[in-house]
């Protein structure tokens, strides 16, 4: 290609040649593409931001995060913190975070347990049981979650009796169409102490289990293997029984048309929880099935040959190996539960989206700030969940050379 | 006959424990199924037009019958419903033709359908240019559900493919932007995205430029689902052996030609089941537009319960809408499964070559 230029090329054609070389050089072309892309995105963002600030000025809304310290004036029907309508908006946000976490954690535990049961039943040799579990999975997975939330809320819980005709649970808790009213201890000190004892007992149990295993590896004898389970189960149980006995209880009583006293688990809470658990369990069940089916059949046969019972075979051989396959998809499901807890907003359960992106945003009009905070909170909680699950995954991963 | 009987005996009554479980489950099925059957079929009322015709104590399907038009078309003017029918018929016929493997000139047909039909469909439903204009607030029911899913999917699929390619790109900036985009939309709840789209889109547009609220929902859904589609496509891209890339390069194809003619056709075929599953998830999540007062099938059903002349018939409405959602999603999931078990001929060939 240089033949033309060998003899007497002038400056202009030399520059043209250099330019052409530059354009056909892969590295330079890549750089040009990327710079163009970044400049395009920046231009687009600048345009959006300019429009937004113009629109905000027109609407008379000041930007900034000062509004977080203003009094919220919003009543929330389900509060675990000491929030009242006189609290600040940032406390309202915290109420949303706590309620979101509460629903998410309970739903994750419930869905994991129920999903494990359904998944194992789906694999059971009993033909009919396996079919029933399969039918449950196929029905639930192919219907929207929001459908189930509305169904539980407007269909099931709304059909419960009015407070006067409440279903009584041993005369202390009452189920009616305004929720589940449960007794609460007047002074929570005993229960806080029990919680501390539980954590301490779990730590001790963990240490005991490690020590027992080290002792067994050293001497070949199981000497104090009973200690860890006794600590982990017995101490918390004892602590909570004692706490229950020594506390004075605020027991709900029927006054007029409703119950006074106690703590009300509102219908919205029950509906979101019921829907999330039953819905997610179907997906967990499929993950469990996939995980168990991924364990080679030889493992199960070998366990049988060693004389293990069905329960032992599952607990000691199959499930530990299946867990490795199951952990990554389970992480996705747990993140889904976190995100799906926001569906509660559709029935006004006061979780993060509902109280913050809904009520607080309507009151203040600070759309951009509130949206940014909400999304950042979800991303942060989600990152924490996946970090924990990745740590767990790394722990149970198959160690190969 | 007795051989079949033996199979059932082995399945259900092979031992004492098995028999016990069988009987317990049978009892449960009867305990749930019999009242359900009595409610839904035996004691149900079908004929009539008002609540007074529901006398038998079972399900009042009269309610669903009276509301059927709204469940399907929302609040679309009755004399204009033929437009929705036409839209549905042409859409279903096009999809059927696209799925017919031996159709002549399938590729050209697909291109024409994908380029021409979406804007024509918007015109047909929305009106203008000779058709009576119908505001999106009057749209609703199953029509709206289908519209949201189809149009969000139409934006999300090409965007998702681009993002998947971007995530695999050798250009670091492109890769980083794709990763941030994908992980951001996958990390936030869809309901928050729908709020975000409905609040933020009008805000970032120049004053005076309105974005239709249905369009906002479509854009919000499309962004989220494109991130999930991108991950489905990435799975397919990762399954393509490096030899394919090398062969394309050896033939002298540039990046876009190699991607378009060699890599993507194979990758998309592999990721089609995963993409279908993402589409099912999208379809189920379209229900969330309820929170910004757009009434899709579930929203119309929910709104119909507020009608004082039909108070107390929520179970009928839920049974009906639940069944529709289930039928559509179940059919789609079976389709995804059939793609998994019957891979295309060329995939076999690819495996043979390895």
The predicted structure's pLDDT at residue A8 = 56
SS in 3 state form for B2-71? HHHHHHHHHHHCCCHHHHHHHHHHHHHHHHHHHHHHHHHHHCCECCCCCHHHCCCCCCEHHHHHHHHHHH
Cα–chain-centroid distance for residue A231?
Answer: 28
Q: Spell out which residues of chain B touch residue A177, defining contact as CB-CB under 8 Å.
A: none
Q: Spell out which residues of chain B touch residue A147, defining contact as CB-CB under 8 Å.
A: 287, 298, 318, 321-322, 325
Would you list the DSSP string of B202-261?
Answer: HHHSPTT----HHHHHHHHHHHHHHHHHHHHHHHHHHTS-HHHHHHHHHTT--HHHIIII
The predicted structure's pLDDT at residue A109 = 95
The beta-strand segments (E) located in A156-233 are 167-169, 173-176, 179-182, 184-185
Residue B154 has pLDDT above 50, yes or no: yes
B204 vs A: CB within 8 A: yes
Mean pLDDT of the residues in chain B = 88
Distances (CA, A) of A328 to A332, A397, B215, B236: 7, 11, 35, 18
Contact check, Cβ <8 Å, B203/A128: no
Q: Which of A390-399, B206-215, B272-281, B291-300 has the lowest mean pLDDT?
A: A390-399
Tokens (6 digits) for B111:
């291109």
Q: How far is B268 from chain A (nearest CA, A)?
A: 22
> Between A and B, how many CB-CB pairs are < 8 A?
140
Residue of A nearest to B325 (CA): A143
Residue B353 has pLDDT above 50, yes or no: no
Contact check, Cβ <8 Å, A127/B287: no
Q: Spell out which residues of chain B touch residue A48, defining contact as CB-CB under 8 Å.
A: 204
Contact check, Cβ <8 Å, A367/B203: yes
Q: How far is A215 from chain B (nearest CA, A)?
A: 41
Residue of B nearest to A365 (CA): B199
**Which residue has better confidence, A119 or B308?**
A119
Residue A67 near residue A363 (C-beta atoms within 8 A): no
Would you list the DSSP string of A183-203?
Answer: -EESSTHHHHHHHHHHHHHHH
The predicted structure's pLDDT at residue B1 = 60
ipTM confidence:
0.89
Q: How far is A382 from chain B (nearest CA, A)?
A: 7
Q: Which of B 209-248 lie inside 8 A of A, CB atoms?
A: none
- pLDDT tens digits for range A40-55: 999 999 999 999 888 8
Q: Spell out which residues of chain B touch residue A30, defining contact as CB-CB under 8 Å.
A: 170-171
The predicted structure's pLDDT at residue A398 = 72
Cα of first residue to Cα of last residue in chain B, in angstroms, is 48
The predicted structure's pLDDT at residue B142 = 94
**Which residue has better confidence, B339 or B291?**
B291
- pLDDT tens digits for range B214-266: 999 999 999 999 999 999 999 999 989 989 989 998 998 988 899 999 999 99
Residue of B nearest to A127 (CA): B11
Contact check, Cβ <8 Å, B188/A379: yes
A208 in helix, strand or coil?
A: helix
Q: How far is A361 from chain B (nearest CA, A)?
A: 10
Pick from B185, B204, B279 the residue to mutate for testing the A interface (most A CBs within 10 Å): B204
Give the mean pLDDT of B323-344: 84
The predicted structure's pLDDT at residue B341 = 67
Residue A243 near residue A323 (C-beta atoms within 8 A): no
The predicted structure's pLDDT at residue A132 = 93
The angle that helices A189-219 and A235-246 make with each other, rounded to 10 degrees, is 170
Q: Spell out which residues of chain B touch residue A271, defining contact as CB-CB under 8 Å.
A: none
Q: Spell out which residues of chain A touch residue B314, defining contact as CB-CB under 8 Å.
A: 154-155, 158
Contact check, Cβ <8 Å, A150/B298: yes
Distances (CA, A) of B94 to A339, B144, B150: 36, 19, 13
SS in 3 state form for A63-91? CCCHHHHCECCCCCCCCCCCCCCCCEHHH
Contact check, Cβ <8 Å, A51/B192: no
Find all residues with CB under 8 Å of A378, minimum gap 6, and list them.
A338, A339, A342, A352, B187, B188, B189, B192
Average pLDDT, consecutive stretches of 10 residues, N- to C-terminus, chain A (401 residues): 53 82 79 91 93 86 85 86 88 94 95 95 90 94 95 88 81 82 81 90 90 84 79 88 84 77 86 95 95 90 90 88 90 94 93 92 88 95 91 79 56
Spatial distance between the Cα atoms of A153 and A275, rounded to a whole number of angstroms: 9
Q: Spell out which residues of chain B touch residue A364, defining contact as CB-CB under 8 Å.
A: none
Residue B345 has pLDDT above 90, yes or no: no
Q: How far is A171 from chain B (nearest CA, A)?
A: 28
The predicted structure's pLDDT at residue B4 = 83
Q: How many CB atoms lie within 10 A of CB B23?
A: 13
- Bridge partners of residue A174, in order along the sequence: A168, A181
Residues present in chain A in total: 401
The predicted structure's pLDDT at residue B347 = 47
Q: How many CB atoms lie within 10 A of CB B49?
A: 9
Spatial distance between the Cα atoms of A136 and A120, rounded to a whole number of angstroms: 13
B184 vs A: CB within 8 A: yes
Spatial distance between the Cα atoms of B162 and B159, rounded to a whole number of angstroms: 5
The predicted structure's pLDDT at residue B313 = 84
B277 vs A: CB within 8 A: no
Residue of B nearest to A56 (CA): B203
- pLDDT tens digits for range B159-190: 999 999 999 888 999 999 999 999 999 999 99
Identify the band that residue B307 occupies on the pLDDT scale cut at 50, 70 and 90. Answer: confident
Q: How far is B181 from chain A (nearest CA, A)?
A: 12
Residues present in chain B in total: 354
Cα–chain-centroid distance for residue A16?
Answer: 60
């Amino acid at each position: 290609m240089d033949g033309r230029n060998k003899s007497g090329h002038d400056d202009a054609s030399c520059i043209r040649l250099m330019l052409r070389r530059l354009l056909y050089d892969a590295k330079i072309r890549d750089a040009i593409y990327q710079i163009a892309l970044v400049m395009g995105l920046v231009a687009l963002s600048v345009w959006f931001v300019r429009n937004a600030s113009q629109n905000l000025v027109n609407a008379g809304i000041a930007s900034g995060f000062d509004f977080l310290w203003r009094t919220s004036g919003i009543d929330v029907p389900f509060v675990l913190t000491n929030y009242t309508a006189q609290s600040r908006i940032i406390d309202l946000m915290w109420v949303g975070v706590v309620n979101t976490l509460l629903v998410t954690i309970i739903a994750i535990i419930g869905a994991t347990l129920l999903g494990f049961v359904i998944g194992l039943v789906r694999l059971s040799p009993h033909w009919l049981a396996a079919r029933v579990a399969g039918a449950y999975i196929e029905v639930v997975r192919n219907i929207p979650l929001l459908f189930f939330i509305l169904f539980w809320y407007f269909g099931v819980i709304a059909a419960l009796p009015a407070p006067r005709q409440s279903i009584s649970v041993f005369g202390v808790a009452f189920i009616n169409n305004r929720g589940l009213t449960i007794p609460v201890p007047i002074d929570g000190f005993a229960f806080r102490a029990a919680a501390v004892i539980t954590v301490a007992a779990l730590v001790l149990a963990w240490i005991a289990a490690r020590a027992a295993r080290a002792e067994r590896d050293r001497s070949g004898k199981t000497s104090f293997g009973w200690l860890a389970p006794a600590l982990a189960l017995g101490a918390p149980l004892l602590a909570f029984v004692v706490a229950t006995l020594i506390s004075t209880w605020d027991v709900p009583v029927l006054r007029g048309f409703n119950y006074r006293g106690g703590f009300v688990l509102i219908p919205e809470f029950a509906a979101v929880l019921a829907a999330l658990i039953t819905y997610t369990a179907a997906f967990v069940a499929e993950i469990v099935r996939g995980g168990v089916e991924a364990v080679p059949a030889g493992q199960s046969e070998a366990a049988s040959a060693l004389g293990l019972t069905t329960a032992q075979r599952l607990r000691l051989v199959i499930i530990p190996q299946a867990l490795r396959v199951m952990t990554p998809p389970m992480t996705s499901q747990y993140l889904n539960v976190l995100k799906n807890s926001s569906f509660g907003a559709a029935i006004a359960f006061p979780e993060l989206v509902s109280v913050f992106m809904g009520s607080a945003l309507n009151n203040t009009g600070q759309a951009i700030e509130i949206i940014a905070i909400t999304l950042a909170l979800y991303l942060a909680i989600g990152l924490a969940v996946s970090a924990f699950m990745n740590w767990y995954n790394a722990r149970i991963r198959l160690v190969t050379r | 006959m007795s051989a079949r009987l033996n199979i059932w005996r082995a399945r259900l009554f092979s031992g004492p424990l098995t028999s016990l479980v069988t009987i317990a489950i049978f009892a449960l099925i009867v305990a749930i199924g019999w009242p359900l059957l009595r409610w839904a079929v035996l004691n149900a009322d079908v004929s009539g037009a008002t609540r007074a015709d529901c006398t038998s104590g079972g399900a009042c399907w009269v309610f669903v019958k009276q509301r059927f038009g709204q469940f399907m078309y929302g609040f679309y003017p009755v004399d204009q419903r033929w437009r929705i029918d036409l839209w549905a018929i042409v859409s279903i016929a096009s999809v059927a033709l696209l799925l017919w493997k031996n159709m002549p000139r399938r590729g050209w047909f697909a291109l024409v359908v994908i380029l021409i039909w979406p804007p024509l469909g918007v015109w047909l439903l929305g009106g203008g240019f000779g058709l009576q204009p119908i505001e999106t607030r009057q749209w609703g029911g199953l029509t709206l559900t289908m519209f949201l899913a189809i149009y969000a999917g139409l934006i999300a699929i090409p965007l998702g493919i681009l993002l998947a390619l971007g995530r695999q790109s050798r250009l670091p900036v492109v890769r980083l932007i794709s990763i941030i985009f994908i992980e951001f939309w996958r990390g936030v709840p869809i309901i928050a995205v729908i709020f975000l789209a409905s609040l933020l889109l009008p805000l970032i547009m120049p004053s005076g430029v309105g974005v239709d609220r249905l369009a906002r929902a479509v854009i919000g859904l499309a962004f989220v689902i494109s991130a999930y589609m991108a991950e489905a496509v990435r799975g397919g891209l990762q399954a393509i052996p490096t030899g394919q890339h090398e062969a394309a390069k050896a033939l002298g194809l540039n990046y876009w030609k190699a991607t378009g003619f060699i890599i993507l056709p194979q990758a998309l075929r592999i990721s089609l089941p995963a993409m279908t599953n993402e589409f099912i998830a999208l379809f189920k999540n379209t229900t969330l537009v309820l929170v910004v007062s757009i009434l899709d099938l579930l929203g119309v059903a929910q709104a119909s319960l507020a009608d004082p002349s039909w108070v107390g018939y929520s179970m009928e409405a839920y049974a009906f809408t639940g069944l529709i959602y289930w039928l559509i999603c179940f059919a789609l999931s079976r389709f995804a499964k059939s793609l998994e078990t019957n891979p295309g001929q060329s995939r076999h060939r690819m495996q043979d070559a390895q």
